[in-house]
Structure 1
Amino acid sequence: MADSRVYGWQDPPIQVTPPASSSAGQEAIDLAARAGLVLDPWQQHILRVGMGEKADGSWASFEVAVNVPRQNGKGGIIEARELWGLFIGGEELILHSAHEFKTAKNAFRRIERLIRSTPDLHRRVKRYWQTTGEESIELYSGQLLRFIARSKGSGRGFTGHCNVMDEDMILGDNEMDALLPTMAAVQDPQIWYLGSAGIGGPSVQLGRLRRRALAAIEAGTSDPSLTYFEWSVDPHVDECPKDCTAHDDADSDEAVLKSNPGVGYRLTLEKVANERSTLSKDGYARERLGVGDYPSDTADTWQVVGEDAWRALAAAESSPSDPVAFAIDMTPERSHAAIAVAGDWRGGTHVEVVEHRPGTGWILDRAAELHEKWKPRCWVVDAGGPAGSLIADLEERLGVEVVSPKTREVAAACGQFYDAVTEQALSHLDQAPLASALAGAQKRPLGDAWAWARRIVSVDISPLVAATLAKWGLAAEVPEPPGDILSNVW
């Protein structure tokens, strides 16, 4: 008999993801099925894409965000991801947090039932911790899945291999400051954000993730460390003509199908019609159609270099010419690192981010590849910064002496970068990591001058610092390589 049900869009209207060579998603899908959790096609799609892997087996995405209206089934995605982390991925600590304690506790009970009903999984469990506020599942092999309510201090002291942020439409700087640094010491961490449309001021982090995704789409590229999925509509506005096809009719079934992948599985058009007649217009648009209100960082961003001035310097066809200089920087938490290059271009300087990835274990291998290919005039690392610990290993690996700027030279490098922008003597590729860093950067006093500073902990300015140091390296004094001692023997 033919299936007469109507189904929502299984592919999201908005999606951004970095390239991947393989995926662990199918393992998560199959394991969930063994536990009795059969996932919808859209849920499977999220796991396959969000759990994409690079050629070396590390995660393609450090951050995965799922923005979908309520009651569509995001809980199933969370459970499948957490089951994989516990029983296949070997993630030592998975931190599941929610805005409200009752939400975290309900999530614990759901996955506990799945595990208890699957004998080969249940026998691997050492203990189900059910003390209020300490709900956890601990395996004999040491893996731990812990459920907590978010607060300014929750998560501090824990080293999470995977952080699951449920109810991410209520997630701000305080909570991110507490939870994100827990992943700094982990070689290959991953963070998942799941929730529904933004609700204004509380949706700080979700707003940032969304802006990064939209910026990548606008630039026709991908964000190097973010996978973002969103089911939503773009409703008509008062200015739309009657025959407008660029926007969605909020009262139509088509809008419901576009924004709700769970229709046909756990939602029906009939149930949604009841919501449409009961909820306020704005409430229906937010809760069912995914039309969010996202706080803007505009007042607090682009404080040093104006966005318009920066975008005006973008040149898609530009590339550096010899000689070039490379530089490396990383976040204080060592969660991300960046390699940037600078070189001459049309009488000015071209800068670009060559690599920007989570973790630090990849840096030496990538630097060796770049050094062999480009033969740069120098490598620059600030010995007083977080990447200073790499200098000895980098010198040994590359066989060169790394150039490290003194404090006054760091200030000079920042001033030179700023001057090049204001004088329109710099070009770039309008890469999202560099733009995001500039948008979130501030000045910090450095003697009588200044250097780059992060506005908040969740802003990664390592691409900007690396680009600044690479530009400085073009004119820095470079140590002469040691000569052949035999050439002095007569």
Structure 2
Amino acid sequence: MTAVPRFHTPRDPSRRSLGPKLGKLAAALGMPLMPWQQMAADVALEIDPATGRFAYKRVVITVPRQAGKTTMTLMLGLHRLLTTETGKIWYTAQTGQAARERFIGDLVPPATKLLGPAVTVKRGAGDTRMSFPAIGSQMRPHPPNDEYLHGEQSDLNLVDEPWAYTEIQGDALVQAFLPTQNTRPNAQTVYLSTMGTADSKWWHDIVDDARAGVAGTCICDWGLPEAGDPSDVEAVIAAHPAVGYTIDGDVIREAHAQMKPAEFARAYANIRTATRSAVFTAETLKRVITSDATMTAGSSVAIGAAVSWDRSRGVIAAAGYATDGTPVVEIIDARPGSGWMPARLQELDNAHAPLSVLVDGRSPASTVATDPAVEDVITIPESRAVAGGTGSFLDRISAGTIRLSWDAELAAAFDVLALRVVGDLGQMIDRKHSAGSVAHIEAAMLALTGLEQAPAPAPAPMIWSMNDA
């Protein structure tokens, strides 16, 4: 196994674990666990010696797509089905229909193939279940609400793809299954999912709590480090725990070529994103966002500055030219708040004498644009100039005729970027409806605008005399 977990609750060697037995069951059934699955099982099924019960009531498993999540779900369910007398195991997904379809389509067929007549299956619309009659245990799907489980009991609740749940759905689900566990001393809840989108706050809060070490919860978290570059497909491959076991790198390379960058980052890098779609494809951004972007020494530069919609972060960018005449944009400063920006812009103006320092006066950076300390430094562009600069910035990215120096926050901002049409001016950055801060993109756009729209240098003065006539 070459990949390493991003976050993982360590195995406590002072506790025995049922993880090895689950691994033996999987191997005996012809579905041996991959190393990441065994690591997860070993921690998730640790026994607290003081109580004789599972040490973790809540298990959080987040892995990239095609990592073997379905197999892990099946083996956790079968292990409990086969070892818990009169046990009740419940499985749910984001809708009742999805839960039933996945239960019947993904979990039942391999279970019946592996265990044959030892298990019985009912597929009725109102009564879908898989049972182990020898000890009276059963596993059933259910919709994610507080009605279906009323009056029931549960030993294990398996929650599939919780990234797709809204906060209302997630809270309703918890209210559904917590009462069912009250009389089951060894009850557990296991969440299995990739990371989510802007709508996945409920799931991301669960992950963040687990990473922070909240009591009674363990986490098994695999994927690209969240500061990494999800457009670097080889890094994504290296971080995927199933590569070399059930998939190879070409599968991920093909997905990278076909998917939009935000969805690829979520699905295969297992990085939370702030939107479901993106303005530019991964391949387009890969051509222009690069660590090799370098301005020519002595190149004229322009500076752009922007502030995020919630005013939590200020960003300054610079634009100049490479040796071949291609514009190069670089993020040169980004910090919390905006109070630091006037002094920093004055410092940059003194040090580099830029062609211009652009700040949009009709934006959250208006307090910077109107600060008396930099009134002789700042240029506030007209709306038409901003629209023209935005169009040029977007066109250059699409055509690959610009270089953006690699910056993790700048790259991530393209995942959340939204555009709006303003009258006959064309497209402009939509700060309000972008699903996160786009200040890095706005600062970069303004820097490019200042570079491209700078007035031509005045001609050298000429002295005429009558003798020249």
TM-score (norm 2): 0.53
| Maintained 8 Å contact 1:148/1:154 | yes
Whichever of the two has the greater Rg, that structure is: 2
Q: Which residue in 1 is equivalent to 2:256? A: 276
Q: Aligned equivalents of 1:17 and 1:159: distance in 2?
A: 30
- Cα deviation for residue 34 of structure 1 reads 1.9
| Maintained 8 Å contact 2:11/2:43 | no
SS at match of 2:38: helix
| Maintained 8 Å contact 2:237/2:252 | no
Letter in 2 for 1:153: E
Identity across the alignment (%):
22
* 2:39 matches 1:45: yes
* 2:197 matches 1:209: no
- Cα deviation for residue 233 of structure 1 reads 2.4
The alpha-carbon distance between structure 1 residues 258 and 15, as it changes in their structure 2 partners (threshold 3 A), is farther
Which of 12, 23, 29 is the equivalent residue of 1:29? 23
- Cα deviation for residue 86 of structure 1 reads 1.0
Q: Aligned equivalents of 1:17 and 1:40: distance in 2?
A: 18
Aligned ranges for residues 105-116 of structure 1 at < 5 Å?
105-116=101-112
Q: Aligned equivalents of 2:153 and 2:254: distance in 1?
A: 45
The alpha-carbon distance between structure 1 residues 280 and 43, as it changes in their structure 2 partners (threshold 3 A), is same
- Cα deviation for residue 254 of structure 1 reads 4.4
Q: Which residue in 1 is equivalent to 2:270? A: 290
| Maintained 8 Å contact 2:224/2:240 | no
- Residues 428-465 of structure 1: CA distance to partner in whole angstroms, max 9, x if unpaired? xxxxxxxxxxxxxxxxxxxxxxxxxxxxxxxxxxxxxx
* 2:81 matches 1:90: no
- Cα deviation for residue 248 of structure 1 reads 2.1
| Maintained 8 Å contact 1:231/1:258 | no
| Maintained 8 Å contact 2:99/2:142 | no
Q: Aligned equivalents of 1:83 and 1:285: distance in 2?
A: 32
Letter in 2 for 1:169: W
SS at match of 2:8: strand
Which of 125, 128, 133 is the equivalent residue of 2:121? 128
- Cα deviation for residue 266 of structure 1 reads 2.7
- Cα deviation for residue 193 of structure 1 reads 0.4
Which of 163, 172, 178 is the equivalent residue of 1:169? 163
- Cα deviation for residue 18 of structure 1 reads 7.7
Aligned ranges for residues 387-398 of structure 1 at < 5 Å?
none
| Maintained 8 Å contact 1:63/1:227 | yes
Larger deviation, residues 59-68 vs 152-161: 152-161
Q: Aligned equivalents of 1:70 and 1:12: distance in 2?
A: 15
SS at match of 1:12: coil
Q: Which residue in 2 is equivalent to 1:75? A: 70
SS at match of 1:69: coil
| Maintained 8 Å contact 2:144/2:172 | no
Which of 140, 144, 148 is the equivalent residue of 1:146? 140
- Cα deviation for residue 203 of structure 1 reads 4.2
SS at match of 2:92: strand
Q: Which residue in 2 is equivalent to 1:232? A: 223
SS at match of 1:96: strand
- Cα deviation for residue 62 of structure 1 reads 0.5
* 2:41 matches 1:12: no
* Structure with the larger RCO, 1 or 2 (CA within 8 Å, 6+ apart): 1
The alpha-carbon distance between structure 1 residues 212 and 59, as it changes in their structure 2 partners (threshold 3 A), is same
The alpha-carbon distance between structure 1 residues 157 and 17, as it changes in their structure 2 partners (threshold 3 A), is farther
| Maintained 8 Å contact 1:70/1:288 | yes
Q: Aligned equivalents of 1:96 and 1:90: distance in 2?
A: 18
User: RMSD over aligned Cα, in angstroms?
Assistant: 2.5
- Cα deviation for residue 112 of structure 1 reads 2.8
Q: Aligned equivalents of 1:210 and 1:294: distance in 2?
A: 16
The alpha-carbon distance between structure 1 residues 210 and 262, as it changes in their structure 2 partners (threshold 3 A), is same
- Residues 122-162 of structure 1: CA distance to partner in whole angstroms, max 9, x if unpaired? 4433x311102421012222111111232343322211011
Q: Aligned equivalents of 2:11 and 2:146: distance in 1?
A: 31
Q: Aligned equivalents of 1:123 and 1:104: distance in 2?
A: 21
TM-score (norm 1): 0.51
| Maintained 8 Å contact 2:262/2:273 | no
- Residues 376-404 of structure 1: CA distance to partner in whole angstroms, max 9, x if unpaired? xxxxxxxxxxxxxxxxxxxxxxxxxxxxx
Structure 1 unaligned spans of 5+: 1-6, 217-222, 236-246, 296-490
SS at match of 2:125: coil
| Maintained 8 Å contact 2:67/2:240 | yes
- Cα deviation for residue 196 of structure 1 reads 0.7
Aligned ranges for residues 228-267 of structure 1 at < 5 Å?
228-234=219-225, 247-267=227-247
Q: Aligned equivalents of 1:289 and 1:155: distance in 2?
A: 35
Letter in 1 for 2:252: V
Aligned ranges for residues 360-371 of structure 1 at < 5 Å?
none
Letter in 2 for 1:107: F
| Maintained 8 Å contact 2:93/2:161 | yes
SS at match of 2:251: helix
Structure 2 unaligned spans of 5+: 276-469
Letter in 2 for 1:42: W
| Maintained 8 Å contact 1:105/1:147 | no
The alpha-carbon distance between structure 1 residues 146 and 229, as it changes in their structure 2 partners (threshold 3 A), is same
Q: Aligned equivalents of 1:16 and 1:44: distance in 2?
A: 13
Q: Aligned equivalents of 2:94 and 2:238: distance in 1?
A: 27
- Residues 28-86 of structure 1: CA distance to partner in whole angstroms, max 9, x if unpaired? 11112222212211111111111111114310110101111212111111111111111
Q: Aligned equivalents of 1:250 and 1:111: distance in 2?
A: 31
Q: Which residue in 2 is equivalent to 1:182? A: 180
The alpha-carbon distance between structure 1 residues 147 and 103, as it changes in their structure 2 partners (threshold 3 A), is closer
Q: Aligned equivalents of 1:286 and 1:112: distance in 2?
A: 28
Q: Aligned residues, how many? A: 268
Q: Aligned equivalents of 1:207 and 1:189: distance in 2?
A: 23
Q: Aligned equivalents of 2:63 and 2:9: distance in 1?
A: 15
| Maintained 8 Å contact 2:69/2:192 | yes
Q: Aligned equivalents of 1:106 and 1:75: distance in 2?
A: 9
The alpha-carbon distance between structure 1 residues 46 and 196, as it changes in their structure 2 partners (threshold 3 A), is same
| Maintained 8 Å contact 1:90/1:143 | yes
| Maintained 8 Å contact 1:18/1:227 | no
The alpha-carbon distance between structure 1 residues 79 and 259, as it changes in their structure 2 partners (threshold 3 A), is same
- Cα deviation for residue 257 of structure 1 reads 3.2
The alpha-carbon distance between structure 1 residues 272 and 257, as it changes in their structure 2 partners (threshold 3 A), is closer
Letter in 1 for 2:204: G
SS at match of 2:60: strand
